[in-house]
Structures are given as C-alpha cells and as structure tokens.
Amino acid sequence: MIKTRNLKKSFDTVKVINNINFELKPGECVAVIGPSGSGKSTFLRLINRLETPTSGEVYYGSQLITDKNIRLIRRKIGMVFQHFNLINNLTVLENLTLAPTSLRLLSDKAAEEKAFSLLRRIGLYNKRDSYPSSLSGGQQQRVAIIRALMLDPEVLLFDEPTSALDPEMIGEVLDLIRDVLKDGMTAIIVTHEINFAKEVASRIVFIDNGRIVEEGTPNKFFTHPESPRVKDFLSKVL
Amino acid sequence: MNNFLQKILELFTTQDYINSFLRGFLLTLEISFFAIIIGLVLGTIIALIQTAKPSPWLVIPKFICKVYVTIIRGTPMALQLFIMFFIIFSIRNFPELVTAFLAFGLNSAAYTSEIIRGGILSVDKGQTEAGLALGLRPFTIFRKIVAPQTIKNSLPSLSNEIITVIKETAIVSMIGMYDLNMAAKDIGSGQNMSSYIVPMVVAALFYLAVIYLISFAIRKLEKRLRKHD
Ligand SMILES: Nc1ncnc2c1ncn2[C@@H]1O[C@H](COP(=O)(O)OP(=O)(O)OP(=O)(O)O)[C@@H](O)[C@H]1O
Ligand SMILES: [Mg+2]
C-alpha cells in the first residue's frame, strides 16, 4: 500500500533518513519506535510529503508520489500530529467539515451529519461549537483523530499521538486509536508507548540514526531482539 | 483664563473659523483615508510576495520589495513627501491631494508589509501542515487558516500604524496644503483671533477624537476575533 525505496533525507548536511526501504501492506499496523531524534517523525512526514525526500522514492500503491499528485493522495492518508494541530480559528465542527466541504467531497449537510455522528462516537457532540483552545489536550487529540476519519482514509499516520498529553488523558486517546484500528485499518504509529505498540501492532520497526535497525512481530521483537542497539533501548524503556 | 474661554467661544461662533477648521479637517481625513487604504492593500501584496515560497520568477519581485521597504523605512517621511511633491508629481495640474495620499500610502505600505509579514510568520507551522495533510489547496489553507490568524495577530500593530498615518499627515502643511494642522495655524495667525494656543488645542482635540474612535473600533474588532483564544 505504501512503499519507500532508498529513501534519504538531509537537513542541510545532516543526514536524518539514511536509505530506508519499507513496505506497508493493506491491513497492517506498524509501530515505529526508536530513540529521540532518530528520524521517526521525519520518516512519517516523508510518506505524505510534508518533507520532500532528498533522494529515493515513495509509492502509494503502484503510484510514485510526486509534488503534482500528492494533494490527491493526501486525502487517502490521514495524519494525526503530536500537537493535535486543530485549526485555532475554527470550531470543532468546522475543523471536521473543513476538508470534506472544501474538497467538495460532501455537501455541507452531509459533512455535518458525518461530523455529528463521529462526535457522538467520542462523546464530544456537546463541544461541537467550542474552539479548540477550550478543550483539554485529550479532547483535542480525539477531535484530531476523527478529523482524519472524515475523509475515510485508507491509511492513518500517527506521530506520537499521546506524548504531548497529561498522563491522565493518555488512556482516552489510546482507547480511541484502539477502536479505530480494530476493524483492520492500515496504519503507521510512531509511539513511545511500548505496551500499546505491543498490543496493536502487527509489526514493530525500530529506527535509529535514520535507518531501520530491526523489524519483526511484536512477540519476536520484544522477547528475542537481535541487535544490541535494540536490546539496549528495550532495557531502558521496559 | 477668562480670555481663553472667550477665545474658544469666539472660535466656535465665527463662521469663518468653523469653515476653516472643517475644510482642514476634511483634507486630513481624505489624505488619511486613501493613504491607509493604499498602505493596507500594497502592504499586504508586499508581505505576500516576501513570505511566498522561493521560486525563480519571484526572485526579482522579492528583491524589489526588499529594496522598497528598506528605502522607505530608512528615510524621513517629510523628505519622501517633498520628493514626491516637488519632483515626481510636479507635473502641472497634478492634483495635490493625490500626491499627498500617494506619498503617505506608499510610505505606510512599507510599514504595513512588515507588520503583516510578521503576522503571517507567527502563524504556527502546524496549522498549515494540518491543512496540507488533509489535502487542502494552498489557497484554501491561506484563506481559511493563515489569513484569519494573521489578521488577528496583526491587528494591534495595524491599529498603531493607522494612527501614525493620521498624525503624520500633519506635515502636509509644510508643502502648503490646508489640512487640520494648517487650519489651526491659519486661524491663529491671521484674522482676529491673535492666539495660537486656542485653535491649536482645538485641532489637537479633533485629532484625538478621530484616533480615539478608530482605536476603539479596532479594539472591539480584536475582541471579537479573540473569542477563540
Ligand atoms: N526541519 C528541520 N530542519 C532541520 N533539522 C531537522 C528538521 N526536522 C528535524 N530535524 C532534525 O532531524 C533529526 C530527526 O528528527 P525527527 O523529528 O524525525 O526525530 P524523532 O525520531 O521524531 O524524534 P522524537 O522522538 O524526539 O520526536 C533531529 O536531529 C532533528 O533535529
Ligand atoms: Mg518525533
């Protein structure tokens, strides 16, 4: 569904992504873990071209992603950011309906209906006319997740969706992600929540210094890691 | 003191004086109004060019904007007015009102562009990225996300700039135009008033009233835009 070939990214002279070959199959949920600054966010952002590769390619299905076709492809790739990135000057409802109506995928009425039903699902229907700043972090992130769902994406990218949250709000957000993923949604999730990764992922990818150092099923990855780098990392976080 | 009050009374009861003041006041308002409009429109265009993503065919426009802003901000307004008045628009019969509001408008555009540029740059990058990730067109992102937040961010400084323009127009009296400032001087010096202090204080109150009204209106607007903070 998504494939990267010899993907590289440098900022100035600093190599941040160093030749990543990766494939995501439909229905897979890949958890990306690794130390801070290893390039996990950059890798995710290269996939929907929020960063342009220095060299190498990204494919969506069989289609090579370019500056020209990325806008249409982005509709199919939902993204959830670490800092939620709800639009400050729009209400919760407007945040949800902005994309489907601007892109003329749904009528105003249909978009609103859909937003209402998603808001009811997360129990925030009564916040529909509030501005993001009046919501808690957990509520904002849950709205951001359903905003991504408004376009019926085929893939979801999560970049540390809970690491900007107060501890007591992490649970509600993980519950929603779990719920979204349970019907076989294809996803990549960058996370520091090792236990959550273990639970929802079908595959773990460990990135260090811009390279995939090791990957495998959660069971194998956590119980029999091969690389010393991973062993070291796991001994610190588990 | 008695004399002072008497003069004020005289000022507001003599038709000639009232006419002079109104004539001056009207010119001040006209110059200010058109200058502010030009400043906002041209300033916005300059800011958009300066903050646009670098591209080959924007190299020259970006350079021109930079030079323009540098020159305008680096030279006195009075000098700019003289140059416009005595050199560039010294063509016979060119209306002096137009020269004046062009001079102030072109000056204000440089400052306004800096304010708006700052406003655009202060919009969190995450806001734009959220729009991009949803597949929105750059223009939609600008219209629905960046522009509203820029306006909100820039409003206090824009209010300042508008006030500055109104006050600065007083220097048109230096090239002999009959604005509010000139009216005060004229009334005070000639005719029977024989007092500068009274008409000048009255002129000051006129400026104050206009500026107070404008800042009040903009503060109201600001409050409304701030409802989502
Ligand atoms: N726009 C940028 N300009 C310059 N350097 C950047 C930029 N974005 C990221 N970097 C650098 O690239 C490296 C990798 O960053 P990235 O955010 O991808 O790491 P990460 O694995 O997501 O880290 P974290 O766990 O802290 O989120 C870091 O050293 C970072 O400073
Ligand atoms: Mg990151």
* Residue B97 in tokens: 């009102």
pLDDT for B52: 92
* Residue B185 in tokens: 């001087």
pLDDT for A127: 96
Q: Ligand 1 site: residues with CB under 6 angstroms? A: A 11, 16, 34, 36-42, 160
C-alpha distance from B229 to closest chain A C-alpha (Å)? 6
Q: Over the stretch B92-148, which tens digit does the pLDDT of each residue have?
A: 788 889 999 999 999 999 999 999 999 999 999 999 999 999 999 999 999 999 999
Q: Does B45 or B227 have the greater pLDDT score? A: B45
Q: A137 Cβ partners below 8 Å, 6+ apart?
A: A84, A164, A165, A166, A169
pLDDT for B30: 96
C-alpha distance from A143 to closest chain B C-alpha (Å)? 13
Instruction: Output the residue whose Cα is nearest ligand 1's atom 23.
Output: A37
pLDDT band at A16, cuts 50/70/90?
Answer: very high
Give me the number of domains chain B comprises: 1
pLDDT for B192: 64
Phi, psi of B136 (to 5 degrees): -70, 155
Q: Does A149 or B174 have the greater pLDDT score? A: A149
Which helix (H) or strand (E) segment holds residue A46: the answer is: helix A40-47
Do B228 and A87 make contact, defined as CB atoms within 8 angstroms?
A: no
Task: Measure CB to CB from residue B133 to each of A79, A89, A91 and give the nearest one.
Answer: A79
A68 touching chain B per CB within 8 A: no
Give residue limits of the domains in chain A. Answer: 2-237
pLDDT for B194: 67
Q: Which residues pair with A216 in a beta bridge?
A: A204
- CB distance B204 to B111 below 8 Å: no
Please name which of B182, B175, B162, B183 lies closest in space to residue B80, comparing C-alpha atoms. Answer: B175
Total beta-carbon pairs less than 8 A apart between chain A and chain B: 68
Task: Measure CB to CB from residue B133 to each of A48, A72, A131 and give the nearest one.
Answer: A48
Task: Measure CB to CB from residue A83 to each of B126, B137, B144 and give the nearest one.
Answer: B126
- CB distance B172 to B164 below 8 Å: no
Q: Does B46 or B182 have the greater pLDDT score? A: B46
Please name which of A78, A80, A112, A81 lies closest in space to residue A96, comparing C-alpha atoms. Answer: A112
Find tokens 């010393």 and name the residue: A228
Task: Please identify among residues 73-132 of chain B the ones whose CB lies closer than 8 Å to any CB of chain A.
Answer: 124, 126-127, 129-132
pLDDT for B11: 80
Residue B65, burial from CB neighbour count under 10 angstroms (0-12, 13-18, 19+): buried
Q: Does B190 or B226 have the greater pLDDT score? A: B226
- Rounded to an integer, what distance in angstroms lies between the CA atom of residue A160 and that of residue A198? 15
Nearest-10 crossing angle of helices A137-149, A92-102: 20
- Rounded to an integer, what distance in angstroms lies between the CA atom of residue B51 and that of residue A210? 31
pLDDT band at B191, cuts 50/70/90?
Answer: low
Phi, psi of A29 (to 5 degrees): -125, 110
Do B135 and A133 make contact, defined as CB atoms within 8 angstroms?
A: no
Other CB atoms closer than 10 Å to residue A222's CB: what's the count? 17
pLDDT band at A183, cuts 50/70/90?
Answer: confident
- Rounded to an integer, what distance in angstroms lies between the CA atom of residue A200 and that of residue B17? 84
Do A131 and B227 make contact, defined as CB atoms within 8 angstroms?
A: yes
Mean pLDDT of the B184-209 span:
83
* Residue B48 in tokens: 């958009």
pLDDT band at B10, cuts 50/70/90?
Answer: confident
- Rounded to an integer, what distance in angstroms lies between the CA atom of residue B106 and that of residue A32? 54
Do B130 and A50 make contact, defined as CB atoms within 8 angstroms?
A: no
A98 touching chain B per CB within 8 A: yes
Pick the CATH number of A2-237 from 3.40.50.300, 3.90.1150.10, 3.40.190.10, 3.40.630.40: 3.40.50.300
C-alpha distance from A235 to closest chain B C-alpha (Å)? 34
Do A87 and B229 make contact, defined as CB atoms within 8 angstroms?
A: no
β strands within chain B, DSSP E? none
Mean pLDDT of the B136-162 span:
95
Mean pLDDT of the A84-91 span:
96
pLDDT for B183: 87
Phi, psi of A78 (to 5 degrees): -80, 145
pLDDT for A75: 96
Mean pLDDT of the B188-217 span:
86
In this model, does residue B1 exceed pLDDT 70? no
pLDDT for B193: 63
Range in A60-69, B69-78, B182-191 with the lowest mean pLDDT: B182-191
> Beta strand pairing status for A203-208 and A186-190?
unpaired
Instruction: Output the residue whose Cα is nearest ligand 1's atom 6.
Output: A11
Task: Measure CB to CB from residue B129 to each of A85, A103, A132 and give the nearest one.
Answer: A85
Q: Which domain holds residue B166?
A: 2-225
C-alpha distance from A205 to closest chain B C-alpha (Å)? 23
Do B134 and A89 make contact, defined as CB atoms within 8 angstroms?
A: no
Mean pLDDT of the A179-188 span:
94
Strand, helix or coil for residue B36: helix
In this model, does residue A171 exceed pLDDT 60? yes
Q: Over the stretch B54-86, which tens digit does the pLDDT of each residue have?
A: 999 999 999 999 999 999 999 999 999 999 988
pLDDT band at B185, cuts 50/70/90?
Answer: confident
User: What percent of chain A has a predicted confidence (pLDDT) above 90?
Assistant: 96
A75 touching chain B per CB within 8 A: yes
pLDDT for B81: 94
